[in-house]
Structure 1
């Protein structure tokens, strides 16, 4: 997986390759973007007008006692100010509008990309980091458009036009002005490099904070159960301290640079006033020229001071863009090569010599070509072969880590297999359109996840094609309708975050309804009754019996009493099928299954 924390190399002003890729997102709005550039050029040209008009006003009208002409100049000055303010408003609004539209488009693309990622990607990547990418980094990226490129271009153009106007008025005063410029340029360069480094530290610290907070808020129950609050607080304190240190470092550089820039600017103004006043007294220049120069100086040094800050804003946006692009470039996505739509699926399943390793995370083709010979596969499944006919129920038992859940993960194409073939209705699952295949497979997991919202939302996942009547029918089928309708607002009861207001059994029943409302032909139950009490288990077992009627079912269970009616039971150990047969056949063998059955039977008698 790509390193999502890598930033732009030190010493570079910014990475043109990244900028070029980011500006692809501007293409739908390129008309407005070019108009913003036009306004930027216009602002640069308008900037020197007012000081020059003031020069003319002083020399040609005030000193000449021409009050009629003075009134005309005041009108011109007011008009130029109004025009500049109007252009600045349109420029600022359009820049913000462009930035927010680009942010919206990128955020949608990143979120869509995340939904396409394999589960192996989420196994390796902290969720808090992905939240940072989708929220904070994308928001920072918008500064490229709102405060970056256009404003930097505007500042540079303004400097050029002001410098040209100063040279036109008096080249000697211009040279006096330039005497302090090297000090400001050196300070600006040092400031830019230091702040760029501190900005990188701030972004890394923010990402670490998000990851830590997200993970520990989600797992707060574990923290409290094991009395680990103080230890986790100390960890958070260290991460927060690093975040504070990075931000204070940035504040320090700003606190040093801007007063220094003010001193340099004041020194430049002082030199101009000293030299200009002597020139006015010697009648080498006019008073209006000196006044115009003083105004030009304020306008000349401001863009130089701001340009460093704008470069850092741009660099910060590019650092965030780099991280976002690395995420978008990550090819850990689910391959959608199949085109066959699974209509009227029967539910025949066949595994042929399937080998799988989580640590490989590569396709069969890549494994066959041996592109990563240094990575040795840690096989979770070894030479797995079995078949389930339409309407049959197959159960899988075995110790934790035997490979049971891995089999259902592969059937759903959550991961890529390295060797072997998997067939559904005698067609390789690689040939199926992925969404249509999964639509025919209903899964009920041991750990039920419910989103914030109503029961209806959690069952339909906000699919408008599923009606309330259809939901009620599915709920009645699995025996969940009665308890749901007793809740306040019934099917529109708010379950709160992760279903906190419901019991484990109630959440499990809702997950059954969610699986059944899509009327899947293949049903997978992964330890669906292991977390509930005996009374609820009996209710759920009745629901399971109804759900499996006429469907192909794969059941994973530790409690052998729940799978005795299965057509076939597979016993897995360390990724291999050790035994296979019906309940009676396996007991007759006197092997692993028989030992496990006798152990559970004795435990039940003692209980």
Structure 2
């Protein structure tokens, strides 16, 4: 007897929804937890880098390629400066008397009173009387061209490898999130809107991927470029290098002040994105109810409110982060002007050649460019880290602890015992108190009571969707808390009031609990639960594709499919939570026969509001406020004239009045 519960979405039960409202309203342990607190930017950034650890070989290759590319690029301006010196030396040398040595030319210039020109010639490799050596200049330019071509190819290869690293990392992160979702306890989903979780698993991961894609190689290139340019500037002139470097702390201080403000704004932006997604998901899922109850205007107003808040947060984040680039450009341009002035003075004094100053000015521009680039990427980095924090919050969520190592009896009869069971969603509000009952093998146990009495909670405890806070539940004498959840749920078939289908064919939806079932077994289950009655009217029969909402099937037809799904798993323990609430009276009568065959020789729990569906139950439990106030057969409870009799009278009276 293998298979999974036919439907595992307890969100449709009334008492669970009531608890969800309590928890979301601020009284539960998870109140206010959505996106309210962000981690430190640097610690989160380190954790993002930790995601790259499985790709460390490729990352090391990227570093090596970037170092080579930056090294080649860094040498370029120095060589171009040499070409400038060759041209300038040729122009000066052509005006000097031929046959002189350079030292004689310097003395000749000083004798004429041209001391500044003499200082310049003294610091240059000038041949008096000789013009520009264009062959040498051409060789230098071709060498620089080849250098830049190789640097570009290496940079392209680094970008190619970075793309592979990022995509592999994000794929692993998506897998981690998918696996994490399946390990989260059901209570986590009670406290989080589905749209919020979807936003973290899709929008936030996509934003993180985009941020890594656009910034990873650029940040590394910018950092190595700064180091390379600084080394070359120190080689040419330590004094000018000091002038250029002074601008860096000024830039960092200004950038840091802006980043502190913009980081909080980016966190708010993605929090509001999650809220908007939650609202859209809820509105689109329930668009029929929105129209039926005339809430379109209110829904539009709510959307406009959340959309405006997202617009405000996004605008503020982008505006504040956009201040970084102008500030860094201003500081860089001021440094550029100072370097040009001081460099010109050094040329006239003969301390530097004009080619060296030209190269240094290029280095200054290339030194400030990556600094400005890093500053301009701050908004992308902050946005990506803000999204990463939200994903990490999901990954750090509490998990279902699976330490059980026990096992159920292979040929167990299906006896279920509640022994002094207590449970509460909210520690301050106990729902079930000291509840004890015995469901004998083969018995059909019906559970009735008003909304919020704890009926669905009772069967959720059997499924171990939640853990009891007191007492224990046994199945064939084995405490279910000692049994792995997968093994326990493989013995149970469950059909909930809210039908849930997956995108696929009707046959695939029926076989969801037993993927290895043959086609004939699927058809047999469909015939036994009367799915076969309506399938042949569909265009493709059992191969008709339904979407997640099952919109091309009626509510009753969807419920029949979920009942067939449970029938196919052939479970030892059956749980029916208002399983026939959406079918017509004639189909319900037919289903009662099918349920009778399905419940034969197995223990069944049936939650029902329509008492007519559970008259033949072996045992009827009447629950009020988490307690069993009455139990017995239908006739016995009517004769007792207690809570059950009042429920029956209320239903019959309502029917008579109608």
Instruction: Give the TM-score taking structure 1 as reference length.
Output: 0.89
Match of 1:473 in 2: 524
Match of 1:242 in 2: 309
**Pairing 1:127–2:194 present:** yes
**Pairing 1:5–2:35 present:** yes
Q: Is the 1:448–1:507 Cα contact (8 Å) retained in structure 2?
A: yes
- Report the 3-state secondary structure (helix = DSSP H, G, I; strand = E; otherwise coil) of the residue aligned with 1:461: helix
Q: Is the 1:50–1:80 Cα contact (8 Å) retained in structure 2?
A: yes
Distance 1:250 1:388, change over 3 A: closer
**Pairing 1:232–2:299 present:** yes
Match of 2:42 in 1: 15
Higher relative contact order (CA 8 A, sep 6+): 2
Output the CA distance in 2 between the equivalents of 1:596 and 1:185.
Answer: 73
Match of 1:410 in 2: 461
Deviation per residue, 1:150-178 (Å, 9 max, x gap): 64344233212212211221334434545
**Mean alpha-carbon deviation: is it higher for 545-554 or for 565-574?**
545-554
Output the CA distance in 2 between the equivalents of 1:228 and 1:73.
Answer: 75
Deviation per residue, 1:168-214 (Å, 9 max, x gap): 21334434545655654443333333332322221222122112212
Output the CA distance in 2 between the equivalents of 1:591 and 1:198.
Answer: 60
Larger radius of gyration: 2
C-alpha deviation, 1:54, in angstroms: 0.5
Output the CA distance in 2 between the equivalents of 1:143 and 1:114.
Answer: 23
C-alpha deviation, 1:48, in angstroms: 1.4
Distance 1:491 1:342, change over 3 A: farther
Match of 2:16 in 1: none
Deviation per residue, 1:101-146 (Å, 9 max, x gap): 1111122111221122222211111112111221122233336744
Match among 553, 556, 559 for residue 502 of structure 1: 553
Q: Is the 1:384–1:577 Cα contact (8 Å) retained in structure 2?
A: yes
Match of 1:38 in 2: 64
C-alpha deviation, 1:63, in angstroms: 4.4
Q: Is the 1:449–1:498 Cα contact (8 Å) retained in structure 2?
A: yes
Q: Is the 1:345–1:440 Cα contact (8 Å) retained in structure 2?
A: no
Output the CA distance in 1 between the equivalents of 2:133 and 2:313.
Answer: 59
Q: Is the 2:69–2:152 Cα contact (8 Å) retained in structure 1?
A: no
Match of 2:594 in 1: 543
Match among 321, 324, 329 for residue 388 of structure 2: 321
Q: RMSD in angstroms over aligned alpha carbons?
A: 2.6
Q: Is the 1:98–1:145 Cα contact (8 Å) retained in structure 2?
A: no
Q: Is the 1:96–1:145 Cα contact (8 Å) retained in structure 2?
A: no
Match of 1:76 in 2: 143
Match of 1:51 in 2: 77
- Report the 3-state secondary structure (helix = DSSP H, G, I; strand = E; otherwise coil) of the residue aligned with 1:352: strand
- Report the 3-state secondary structure (helix = DSSP H, G, I; strand = E; otherwise coil) of the residue aligned with 2:468: coil
**Pairing 1:117–2:184 present:** yes
Distance 1:336 1:483, change over 3 A: farther
Distance 1:25 1:250, change over 3 A: closer
Output the CA distance in 1 between the equivalents of 2:657 and 2:477.
Answer: 47
Q: Is the 2:162–2:216 Cα contact (8 Å) retained in structure 1?
A: no
Q: Is the 2:500–2:549 Cα contact (8 Å) retained in structure 1?
A: yes
Distance 1:586 1:134, change over 3 A: same
Match among 482, 486, 490 for residue 439 of structure 1: 490
C-alpha deviation, 1:6, in angstroms: 4.4
Match of 1:394 in 2: 445
Match of 2:115 in 1: none
Distance 1:155 1:557, change over 3 A: same
Output the CA distance in 1 between the equivalents of 2:182 and 2:629.
Answer: 36
Match among 218, 226, 230 for residue 285 of structure 2: 218
- Report the 3-state secondary structure (helix = DSSP H, G, I; strand = E; otherwise coil) of the residue aligned with 1:379: coil
Stretches of structure 1 that go unaligned for 5 or more consecutive residues are 361-375
Match of 2:52 in 1: 26
Q: Is the 2:514–2:568 Cα contact (8 Å) retained in structure 1?
A: no
C-alpha deviation, 1:427, in angstroms: 0.8
Output the CA distance in 1 between the equivalents of 2:208 and 2:406.
Answer: 37
**Pairing 1:428–2:454 present:** no
Q: Is the 1:505–1:532 Cα contact (8 Å) retained in structure 2?
A: yes
Output the CA distance in 2 between the equivalents of 1:41 and 1:248.
Answer: 37
Output the CA distance in 1 between the equivalents of 2:447 and 2:414.
Answer: 18
Deviation per residue, 1:45-69 (Å, 9 max, x gap): 3331110110122224674433333
Distance 1:185 1:359, change over 3 A: closer
Q: Is the 1:40–1:151 Cα contact (8 Å) retained in structure 2?
A: no
Distance 1:265 1:596, change over 3 A: closer
**Pairing 1:300–2:367 present:** yes
C-alpha deviation, 1:458, in angstroms: 2.1
C-alpha deviation, 1:322, in angstroms: 2.8
Distance 1:184 1:331, change over 3 A: closer
Q: Number of residues paired by the alignment?
A: 587
Distance 1:324 1:339, change over 3 A: farther
Output the CA distance in 1 between the equivalents of 2:596 and 2:191.
Answer: 37
Deviation per residue, 1:59-94 (Å, 9 max, x gap): 246744333333332332122112211221122222
Output the CA distance in 2 between the equivalents of 1:174 and 1:571.
Answer: 86
**Pairing 1:587–2:654 present:** no
Deviation per residue, 1:390-411 (Å, 9 max, x gap): 2221111111122211111100
Deviation per residue, 1:472-492 (Å, 9 max, x gap): 111111121131132111111
Distance 1:58 1:7, change over 3 A: farther
Distance 1:433 1:173, change over 3 A: closer
Match of 2:269 in 1: 202
